[in-house]
């Protein structure tokens, strides 16, 4: 079975992890700091804070942005639920802004209309790995005094106006889940250029505790104190060892992902039932996923048929995403999927094709052949011409 995403692990990761197992550090130790420094350098940003998952990174980013009781945070419904959940963790209120018709990123004209006195922040998502319109979004955020948190779980290594993702929002978060650009098993990171944010993040990551020279002199060498309600969101040295080895290979991963995406785009470029992923000349896509949109309404078969057809041929597709306001939990809070019609339409059309560095040429060709075969055999008219 071929899935939509998969990690690429080599002997470098294995050797580096074994070294950690023989060292005195298992949990957060010197490799966490090394991983943070290397990531910060790669992303051209001042500070990085490694944590236990992308979700933990989102939670701490929201806390650091000061989201609390009743604060509104505008975000997209076309993301993984964790994006909006992080607002709920802080007792804030997620406000869903619909996506653009052409591509699942926040519709910024609509977003401006959703800003109220209670709005505190915006969480954008670089869907699929293509950076959001940072310039315009940051302009809006500055104008209304909002904090911009970028959920860049898809866009590690992507570029916007020649700059790597990491320093373009007030707080940027990454995920290192196995399907993402680089992996640490589970893991995440928050990047920022703000020293105060960084200080708070590091404290919140480990129970809100602080220990400094002054305290040790005044109270004694055992002393530390809890100053915030923090968590145990630490990353381990085992995970960081893996992250360091993965980061060494990131350019190769990004290159291979782009090569496969280009092959798909070229292969599907003249099929009227297919809407290709957006490409913009001022950004470099990290190609986390290949979101194919099919106009099923013009075919005699639907998305479920397509899934089964591919599954019968040993290809397991995925959908990114079920709009967050469609989930029962959010419906229970009073949200409606109908409030964001373009997100709902995108959901009806989208399927993510297999895309990961190790996907063989044979399998890429197979995916393309099957997609074309499905569409050709599902056309309403009898032409069913060859493609």
d(CA 338, CA 351): 20
- 32 contacts: CB under 8 Å, gap ≥ 6: 50, 234, 235, 236, 237, 240
For position 94 contacting ligand PLP by CB under 6 A, the verdict is no
Task: Write the DSSP string, 22-54.
Answer: HSS-SSSSHHHHHHHHHHHHHTT-SEEEEES-H
3-state secondary structure of 303: helix
- Give the nearest distance from C-beta 175 to ligand PLP in angstroms: 3
- Give the nearest distance from C-beta 223 to ligand PLP in angstroms: 34
For position 55 contacting ligand PLP by CB under 6 A, the verdict is yes
Q: 7, 175, 239, 325: which one contacts ligand PLP (CB under 6 A)?
A: 175
Q: Which stretch binds ligand PLP (CB under 6 A): 75-83, 90-98, 292-300, 364-372?
A: 75-83
For position 104 contacting ligand PLP by CB under 6 A, the verdict is no
Q: Which is nearer to ligand PLP, 105 or 370 (CB)?
A: 105
Q: 120, 148, 177, 283: which one contacts ligand PLP (CB under 6 A)?
A: 177
Determine contact, residues 106/137, Cβ cutoff 8 Å.
yes
Give 337-348 as a 3 state SS string: HHHCHHHHHHHH
For position 83 contacting ligand PLP by CB under 6 A, the verdict is yes
For position 64 contacting ligand PLP by CB under 6 A, the verdict is no
CA distances from 360 to 202, 253, 356, 366 (A): 41, 14, 9, 10
Q: 17, 82, 105, 158: which one contacts ligand PLP (CB under 6 A)?
A: 82
- Give the nearest distance from C-beta 153 to ligand PLP in angstroms: 3
Q: Which is nearer to ligand PLP, 83 or 167 (CB)?
A: 83
- Give the nearest distance from C-beta 235 to ligand PLP in angstroms: 11
Q: Which is nearer to ligand PLP, 54 or 354 (CB)?
A: 54
**Residue 332 phi, psi (nearest 5):** -65, -25
Q: Which is nearer to ligand PLP, 189 or 294 (CB)?
A: 189
- Give the nearest distance from C-beta 321 to ligand PLP in angstroms: 8
CA 44 to chain centre: 19
Q: 7, 79, 138, 340: which one contacts ligand PLP (CB under 6 A)?
A: 79
For position 125 contacting ligand PLP by CB under 6 A, the verdict is yes
Determine contact, residues 71/93, Cβ cutoff 8 Å.
yes
Q: Which is nearer to ligand PLP, 80 or 268 (CB)?
A: 80
Instruction: Tell which residue, 58, 119, 105, 110, has the closest CA to residue 84.
Output: 58
Q: 153, 191, 292, 299: which one contacts ligand PLP (CB under 6 A)?
A: 153
CA distances from 266 to 4, 14, 360, 368 (A): 19, 36, 17, 10
- Give the nearest distance from C-beta 324 to ligand PLP in angstroms: 10
Beta-bridged to residue 299, according to DSSP, are 379
Half-sphere exposure of 226 (CA within 13 A, CB side): 9
Letters for 34-53 (x = contact with ligand PLP by CB under 6 A, - = none) are: -------------------x
Task: Write the DSSP string, 154-193.
Answer: T-TT-EETTEETTSSSSEEEEE--TTSSS--SS-EEEEES
Give the residue at shortest CB distance from ligand PLP.
54
CA distances from 213 to 71, 224, 294, 341 (A): 36, 10, 61, 56
Give, in degrees to the nearest 5, the angle at Cα 35 between 32 and 38.
150
Q: 20, 40, 54, 158: which one contacts ligand PLP (CB under 6 A)?
A: 54
Q: 16, 154, 203, 283: which one contacts ligand PLP (CB under 6 A)?
A: 154
Q: Which is nearer to ligand PLP, 85 or 267 (CB)?
A: 85
Judged by the rule CB under 6 A, the positions of this chain that interact with ligand PLP are 53-55, 79-80, 82-83, 125, 151, 153-154, 175, 177, 188
């Amino acid at each position: 079975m071929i899935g939509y995403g998969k990690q690429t692990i080599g002997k470098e990761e294995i050797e580096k992890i074994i070294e950690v197992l023989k060292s005195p550090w298992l949990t957060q130790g010197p490799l966490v700091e090394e991983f943070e420094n290397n990531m910060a350098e790669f992303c051209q940003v001042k500070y990085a804070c490694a944590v236990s998952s992308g979700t933990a990174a989102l939670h701490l980013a929201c806390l650091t942005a000061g989201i609390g009781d009743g604060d509104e945070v505008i975000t997209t419904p076309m993301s993984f639920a964790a994006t909006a959940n992080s607002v709920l963790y802080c007792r804030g209120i997620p406000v869903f802004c619909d996506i653009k018709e052409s591509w699942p990123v926040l519709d910024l004209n609509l977003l401006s209309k959703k800003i109220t006195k209670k709005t505190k922040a915006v969480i954008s998502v670089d869907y699929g790995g293509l950076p959001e319109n940072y310039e315009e979004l940051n302009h809006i955020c500055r104008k209304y005094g909002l904090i911009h948190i970028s959920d860049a779980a898809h866009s590690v290594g992507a570029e916007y106006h020649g700059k790597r993702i990491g320093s373009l929002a007030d707080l940027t978060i990454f995920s290192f889940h196995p399907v993402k650009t680089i992996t640490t098993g589970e893991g995440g990171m928050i990047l920022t250029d703000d020293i105060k944010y960084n200080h708070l993040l590091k404290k919140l990551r480990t129970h809100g505790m602080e220990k400094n020279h002054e305290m040790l002199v005044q109270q004694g060498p055992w002393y530390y104190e809890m100053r915030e309600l923090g968590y145990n969101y630490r990353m381990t040295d085992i995970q960081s060892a893996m992250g360091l080895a993965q980061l060494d290979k990131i350019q190769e991963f990004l290159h291979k992902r782009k090569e496969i995406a280009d092959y798909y785009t070229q292969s599907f470029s003249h099929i009227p039932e297919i809407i290709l992923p957006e490409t913009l000349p001022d950004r470099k896509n990290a190609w986390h996923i290949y979101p194919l949109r099919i106009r099923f309404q013009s075919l005699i078969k639907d998305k479920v048929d397509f899934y089964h057809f591919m599954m019968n041929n040993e290809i397991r597709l995925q959908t990114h995403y079920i709009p967050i306001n469609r989930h029962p939990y959010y419906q229970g809070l009073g949200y409606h999927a109908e409030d964001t019609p373009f997100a709902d339409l995108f959901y009806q059309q989208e399927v993510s094709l297999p895309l990961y560095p190790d996907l063989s040429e044979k399998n890429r060709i197979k995916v393309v052949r099957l997609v074309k075969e499905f569409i050709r055999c599902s056309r309403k008219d009898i032409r069913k011409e060859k493609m």
